[in-house]
Structure 1
Amino acid sequence: MQRLEGFASPSWDDPFWHAVRMLVDIFKRKVPTEDEILPPLTMWQEGEGSAFDSYLRKRSALVKPLAEYLQLRADLSADLLNLMRSEEEAKDDFASISDVKLTSYGTKMAHHQSSKALVATVEVITNDICSRYGKSVNVNPQRRASAVADDHLWVSPRRLDGAFPSLSNPRAIWEIKEYWGKTNGGSKMSDAIYECQLVGTELRAFEDLHGVRIKHYALLDGQHQWRARISDLRRAVDLLYSGLLDELIVGREVLTVWPEIIEELCRESGAN
């Protein structure tokens, strides 16, 4: 999923996204209309939220685009869920492109042994395309990524799930967030979004200061668990629309959109 042009203008550090964050906290899962946004803020005129109340009332022109975006993020999260797969569907899709045996995450034996279906699919597709183009790629990083601009250094705040062409001065990095099983998702889903936000925020700040451009992707899957954490899925939409992510690749898109992304990266990198 890419950003729609109408809501892609505020930069990653624009106050618009902070206003979105506060309104989401106020209204929870409810999507407020334009007329519903300001009235609840009156209770904060003398309270802990008075700064936000004052900011928004002085900028009433923001209310309409905020209401429109809140509705958009709700609509898009439903679209994302429709793209997601069950674990069995993900396994079947992987079997259609590879005969390699899937491994599982190292969870306790009493817990569901989730397969690395999305991770494995990304690895197979990425390695295949990069091999055809004669490009190097790291689909299993064991260290942090780093980039240098003049005398300045950026090191990723956490280990990533892939880097093109390498962890040193990468052109692109990606994070994979797949969650399977029959139980409802939990705080791990919130942690996953915050991890993406942290990486994206550091990247964009480094880019703004030093001109180094590194594309940042997130791949999500696991319909059952993400459905139980719809608020976190909507935050993933926020990361996309604020520009902290260049693109969200969700569920079945790993078979269609992800190959296009990798091919574009290979073509942009030029001849070896």
Structure 2
Amino acid sequence: MKADPRFFGNPTSFWAYVRAISESLGYSIRGASTVRNPSIDDMFAALKKLGQPTETLGTPTNPSQFAFLLSEYFTYRAEILNNQVRVDLMNSVEAFEAYDEVKDSVGARMTGNRILNSKGEESAVEYHVGDSIVRVPLNKQKDEKKRESYLTGIVNLIVAERLNGLPCDYDPRKMTSVDHDGKLYQTFSRRYDGSFPSTRNPIAMWEIKEYYYTTTFGSKISDAVYITSLDGYEREELERGSGIKIHHLVMVDAFETWWGKGRSYLCRMVDILNMGHVDDLLFGREVIRELPQIADDWANHYMTEYVKES
């Protein structure tokens, strides 16, 4: 999923209204498991409830173009979430089945190497995929729930298959940095979940938000939204200061967590996408549909720029 051109590039004030109206009315319709699509009358009522001015929206009987644009955005957001994202998000059983299908489709074969952590416990499973060797980490659950991380596995295996031996850091242990012509332009605040071809001057970097076994809706999910926004601001700052662009991808899954408990945060993720803080935002099954082409684009960029220069 990419940003909708109708809304991409709107000023901060546009998103201030989106957030204020959404917060006042509620992002979803309680008891209906549906994301709310406010009417123009609802928008006026929401702002009056907050004690905020409504002049920019015109009047309820003669709305401004700004009000109509807000209405279009709320309709778009509700439709994309209610009709696509709700269907694409998977529960743990569906994710397990999808992961197995991806393993078969990319021809993944276990290397037989045991990957252990510092405590001597198995921490990942290693696979041959074409000319790539890639690891899929185990989740942090215990007993029967301790398995390979499904969404991370889907991502790693698809990327490995499309890159076919090109260098890639599937588990960065250092912060991403960007330098050019002897000058360091940016060192990002956090470690990403993946970086191609490496954490130094990457073509792409990505985050994976999978919470299949989360039993309560806590700060972890809300933090995922705020962190994604922070990452976007840092990337935009880099682009403004240097002209250097990095493809920023975020992938999300777990129906019970994101849809069952966190529809408001799904709305905010779609807002973040259309604000330009993320280049692509993929939900559940959408990863399987869209990631192969995205990874092909990364590989083509690498072969055109990196190999040509060498």
**Structure 2 length normalisation: TM-score?**
0.75
Q: Point out the more displaced range, 183-192 or 256-265.
A: 183-192
Give the aligned partner of residue 37 of structure 1: 43
Residues of 1 paired with 2:137 and 2:237: CA distance? 36
In the TM superposition, residue 185 of structure 1 has moved relative to its aligned partner by 3.3
In the TM superposition, residue 149 of structure 1 has moved relative to its aligned partner by 5.1
Give the aligned partner of residue 18 of structure 1: 16
In the TM superposition, residue 126 of structure 1 has moved relative to its aligned partner by 1.3
Identical pairs, percent: 28
Residues 109-130 of structure 1: CA deviation (Å, up to 9, x unaligned): 5996575111122112212221
Give the aligned partner of residue 232 of structure 1: 265
Unpaired runs of at least 5, structure 1: none
* Counterparts of residues 235-254 of structure 1 (less than 5 Å): 235-254=268-287
Aligned-pair Cα RMSD in Å: 2.6
Residues of 2 paired with 1:118 and 1:155: CA distance? 27
Q: Point out the more displaced range, 205-214 or 243-252.
A: 205-214
Q: Identify if the C-alpha distance between structure 1 residues 182 and 213 changes in structure 2 by more than 3 Å, giving closer, same or farther.
A: closer
Residues of 1 paired with 2:187 and 2:264: CA distance? 29
Q: Does 2:228 match 1:190?
A: no
Q: Higher relative contact order by CA 8 Å / sep ≥ 6: 1 or 2?
A: 1
Q: Point out the more displaced range, 94-103 or 234-243.
A: 94-103
Give the aligned partner of residue 104 of structure 1: 138
Where 1:269 maps in the other structure, the secondary structure is: helix
Residues 228-268 of structure 1: CA deviation (Å, up to 9, x unaligned): 20000111111111111111111112222111100111112
Residues of 2 paired with 1:22 and 1:111: CA distance? 43
Q: Identify if the C-alpha distance between structure 1 residues 110 and 21 changes in structure 2 by more than 3 Å, giving closer, same or farther.
A: farther
Tell me which stretches of 4 or more aligned residues in structure 1 moved more than 4 Å: 57-60, 99-103, 109-115, 149-152
Residues of 2 paired with 1:154 and 1:55: CA distance? 41
CA contact (8 A) 2:44 2:54 kept: no
Residues of 2 paired with 1:197 and 1:111: CA distance? 35
CA contact (8 A) 2:225 2:265 kept: yes
Q: Point out the more displaced range, 210-219 or 148-157.
A: 148-157
* Counterparts of residues 107-256 of structure 1 (less than 5 Å): 107=141, 109=142, 113=146, 115-131=148-164, 134-148=165-179, 151=183, 153-181=185-213, 183-227=215-259, 228-256=261-289
**Aligned amino acid, residue 259 of structure 1:** P
Where 2:69 maps in the other structure, the secondary structure is: helix
Give the aligned partner of residue 32 of structure 2: none
CA contact (8 A) 2:185 2:242 kept: no
Instruction: Give the structure with the higher percent strand.
Output: 2
Where 2:6 maps in the other structure, the secondary structure is: helix
Residues of 2 paired with 1:92 and 1:201: CA distance? 36
**Count of paired positions:** 261
Residues of 1 paired with 2:49 and 2:213: CA distance? 42
Unpaired runs of at least 5, structure 2: 28-35, 111-124, 126-135
Q: Identify if the C-alpha distance between structure 1 residues 182 and 135 changes in structure 2 by more than 3 Å, giving closer, same or farther.
A: closer
Residues 41-96 of structure 1: CA deviation (Å, up to 9, x unaligned): 34555xxx4xxx26735894321111221222122222212111121222222223
Residues of 2 paired with 1:17 and 1:111: CA distance? 44
Where 1:160 maps in the other structure, the secondary structure is: coil
Q: Identify if the C-alpha distance between structure 1 residues 111 and 158 changes in structure 2 by more than 3 Å, giving closer, same or farther.
A: farther
Q: Identify if the C-alpha distance between structure 1 residues 22 and 115 changes in structure 2 by more than 3 Å, giving closer, same or farther.
A: farther
Q: Does 2:297 match 1:264?
A: yes
Give the aligned partner of residue 7 of structure 2: 7
Give the aligned partner of residue 66 of structure 1: 70
In the TM superposition, residue 145 of structure 1 has moved relative to its aligned partner by 0.4
Give the aligned partner of residue 90 of structure 1: 95
Residues of 2 paired with 1:243 and 1:114: CA distance? 35
In the TM superposition, residue 160 of structure 1 has moved relative to its aligned partner by 0.4
Q: Point out the more displaced range, 17-26 or 181-190.
A: 181-190
**Structure 1 length normalisation: TM-score?**
0.85
Residues of 2 paired with 1:54 and 1:111: CA distance? 55
